[in-house]
Structure formats: structure tokens, C-alpha cells
Amino acid sequence: MFVLGIDPGLSVTGYGIVAASRPLQALAAGVVRTDPRAPLSQRLVELFDDLSAVIAEFGPTEAAIEEVFVNRNLQTATAVGRASGVAILAVARAGLRVTEYTPSAVKLAVTGYGDAPKDQVQAMVARRLGMTEAPKPADAADALAIAVCHLQSTGLRRLIGERT
């Protein structure tokens, strides 16, 4: 099973593919960038096309995405929400199930602490995936963390389901 993790953003969307092997293995990580000077509709189409290409190339069986975090900047939250919707559409169009996780759930799953700083999350992603250093850019590392969170959560749900 391969999981696609997505860290949505309008300017930069991170993606990571993790294999559900023992130990977990990162197959790919990167970012999709859109031109901030381009019209919004063009940027969203580009994001859809690029994520669709990643899905076609790696053939994930499931996907996970970080839920939109609404902070003080409503404009940023709106842009991320649009990117998130396009990412979910690309995944759904490919026939994959997508699960959303809050930022604190991802941090808790990867580090054991829901308020872990970004550098700690990146270091733990590298350690858990057997990498010599934290993946770069940060958006790609975050996407890998989301995929790891999903694999860990899916495993726990299966264990709980099997015991009840």
C-alpha cells in the first residue's frame, strides 16, 4: 500500500508518497508551485494537473491531507481552502479515498506531542523513514508526516476493529 500525503497551499503544495512496509519507506517527496502572478483559476488548474500527474506516476492506494487551519489571516485560510478542495478533487477523481487530519493530530502521530515545533516534526519524519536528513522543502516533509500519520492511524483503526 502506498499513501499520498498532501500539505495543501495555493503557492506551494507539498506531497509525499510513503510505502506501508516495515520499516516505512519514503518513495517520493516534493512540491507543486503555482505562480502568484497568474489568475486564481489558472493556478488551481495547474495544481489539479500536477497532483493528478503525481497520482498517475506513483499509483497510491490511499491519500491523506491536512485539514485547513484557520488562523488570523482569513485571506490565507481561504487560499489554502481552495487548494485543499482542488487536491481532494484530484484524489477523488483518481478513485482514491482521502482522509483529513488536523495539524495537531499529525504532530501527535509523528512525534508523540501535538504541539511539536516544525523542526521536531521534520527530524522525526526523517528518523521514522530512515532518511539521513529532514526532507526539504518543509512542505514536502509535512506531506510525508501526513502520510505517516495516516498509516499509523489506519493501523490502529484496524487493530481496534479486529479486537471488537
Catalytically active residues are 7, 66, 139
Question: Distance between CA 41 and CA 143 in Å, rounded?
Answer: 24
Q: How many CB atoms lie within 10 A of CB 132?
A: 5
Question: Distance between CA 14 and CA 144 in Å, rounded?
Answer: 8
Distances (CA, A) of 76 to 8, 9, 11, 71, 73: 12, 9, 10, 8, 5
Question: Distance between CA 117 and CA 39 in Å, rounded?
Answer: 34
Residues counted in the chain: 164
Q: How far apart are the first and last CA of the chain?
A: 24
Question: Distance between CA 155 and CA 135 in Å, rounded?
Answer: 24
